[in-house]
Amino acid sequence: MRRLLILTLLTWSALARSSAVPLPLETIKLPPGFAIELWARVDNARQMALGGADGKGGVLYVGSRGAGKVHAVRFDAAYRAGAVVRIADGLNMPSGLAWKGGALYVAAVNRILRYDDIDRQIEKPPTPTVVIDSLPKDTHHGWKFIAFGPDGKLYVPVGAPCNICAPEDPYASILRMNADGSGREIFARGVRNSVGFDWNPIDRVLWFTDNGRDMLGDDSPPDELNRAPRPAMHFGYPYCHGGEVIDPEFGSRRSCGEFEPPAQKLGPHVASLGMRFYSGTMFPPEYRNQVFIAEHGSWNRSRKIGYRIALVRVKDGRAISYESFASGWLQGESAWGRPADVQMLPDGSLLIADDHAGAIYRITWRK
């Protein structure tokens, strides 16, 4: 029986992106009262962004990293997914998406493109407008997660072009700019590779995930969940990791005490990607204004960890705990899926993008 399970998992791992392959959702573990379902099959699904709603439903946009495509998923008033439409292809790692004022913004490494009035033109997408094309062209940590903040500005990370190095600005930072690409400035420094952020709905402070450096062993350093209440903060890279791990190559140059420590240390090498504060009402009240994180899963460990949705509980603007919310994509040392992003639907259910299985799941509360 065990051998059959291993062979089956290997088959799923090898063929997961095919929509013909059934996904073993029965392996997913959730707290009592929650349920998960396959919502849509989308090739290499990474960041998600909600479009407008017209009373009859809405649109979810989905970027990709390896596939080079952007898709739109229509859903009805009951939040059932309908047709999946490809609206762009041939792009360079169009992982990050943001929707504002009827337009879809797509981050493709050095460029940000804007598709105007996209909700009404999904079947015949307009020619995109180039918002900015002067970002670094490096593909190492060049894929992006983007979002508009409460200040109306577009936030765009620029990862370090390496595992560990001391690059000049704008690398290892989070930028912000006006919606038309003007007024670009660095909001946060010392950020190795953020692929997810959101603003606390209570105090509107930015929180973001950051992937720690590799090659310091199985258990060091931790990934980070950081809090940035003001501009010009520095979060330590490449000198200090996780608030206290001195880098063996660059740590002698500056002290860990000079930098902002993590709001919450995450698992070492879990590859924390998309994150959102939960602001819905479907889930029980104890989940309101808490942080869900998609942990894509480790590669730089002798035993794999991550491959789950983590929950960071927040109280009075501070992280107070870190735990698993949804797990089971990793079975032993074989993973049939890899969570990449989370996105709340208007009814309060939670979508999970999985770029490995080419799927989007929906978690609901049914108790």
* SS3 track for the chain: CHHHHHHHHHHHHHHCCCCCCCCCHHHCECCCCEEEEEEEECCCCCCEEEEEECCCEEEEEECCCCCCCEEEEEEECCCCEEEEEEEECCCCCCCEEEEECCEEEEEECCEEEEECCHHHCCCCCCCCEEEECCCCCCCCCCCCCCEECCCCCEEEEECCCCCCCCCCCCCCEEEEECCCCCCCEEEEECCCCCCCEEECCCCCCEEEEECCCCCCCCCCCEEEEEEECCCCEECCCCCEECCCEECCCCHHHCCHHHCCCCCEEEEECCCEEEEEECCCCCCCHHHCCCEEEEECCCCCCCCCCCCEEEEEEEECCEEEEEEEEEECCEECCEECCCEEEEEECCCCCEEEEECCCCEEEEEEECC
CB of 337 within 8 A of CB of 16?
yes
pTM of the model: 0.94
* Predicted confidence band of residue 314 (pLDDT cuts 50, 70, 90): very high
- In this prediction, residues 194-198 reach a mean pLDDT of 98
Q: Is the pLDDT of residue 8 over 60?
A: no
- In this prediction, residues 213-242 reach a mean pLDDT of 98
Fold of domain 2-365: Neuraminidase (2.120.10)
Give residue 6's pLDDT. Answer: 38
Give residue 14's pLDDT. Answer: 47
Q: Where are the domains of the chain?
A: 2-365
For 328-337, the pLDDT digits (tens) are: 999 999 999 9
Give residue 60's pLDDT. Answer: 98
Q: Tell me the CA end-to-end span of the chain in Å, nearest whole number.
A: 33
- In this prediction, residues 209-217 reach a mean pLDDT of 97
* Predicted confidence band of residue 178 (pLDDT cuts 50, 70, 90): very high
Give residue 18's pLDDT. Answer: 55
Give the CA distances from residue 12 to residues 20, 22, 330, 353, 356, in Å, rounded to whole numbers and listed in that order. 11, 8, 12, 17, 10
For 69-104, the pLDDT digits (tens) are: 999 999 999 999 999 999 999 999 999 999 999 999
Q: What is the Cα–Cα distance from 287 to 296, expressed in whole angstroms?
A: 22
* Predicted confidence band of residue 359 (pLDDT cuts 50, 70, 90): very high
**Mean pLDDT across the chain:** 94
Give residue 19's pLDDT. Answer: 62
Q: Is the pLDDT of residue 266 over 60?
A: yes
- In this prediction, residues 189-197 reach a mean pLDDT of 98
CB of 36 within 8 A of CB of 361?
yes
Give residue 104's pLDDT. Answer: 98
For 287-300, the pLDDT digits (tens) are: 999 999 999 999 99
Give residue 17's pLDDT. Answer: 52
Residue 206 dihedral angles phi and psi, to the nearest 5°: -75, 130
Nearest to 87 by CA among 108, 104, 109: 104
Q: Is the pLDDT of residue 1 over 60?
A: no
Please calculate the CA angle 197-114-128 and round it to the nearest 5 degrees: 145
Q: Is the pLDDT of residue 5 over 70?
A: no
Q: What is the Cα–Cα distance from 185 to 210, expressed in whole angstroms?
A: 19
Q: Is the pLDDT of residue 309 over 90?
A: yes
Give residue 20's pLDDT. Answer: 63
Give residue 46's pLDDT. Answer: 98
Q: What is the side-by-side order of every strand in the sheet holding 96-100? A: 96-100, 103-108, 111-115, 129-132
- In this prediction, residues 51-75 reach a mean pLDDT of 92
Q: Mean pLDDT lowest for which of 10-19, 94-103, 229-238, 241-250?
A: 10-19
Q: What is the Cα–Cα distance from 166 to 169, expressed in whole angstroms?
A: 10
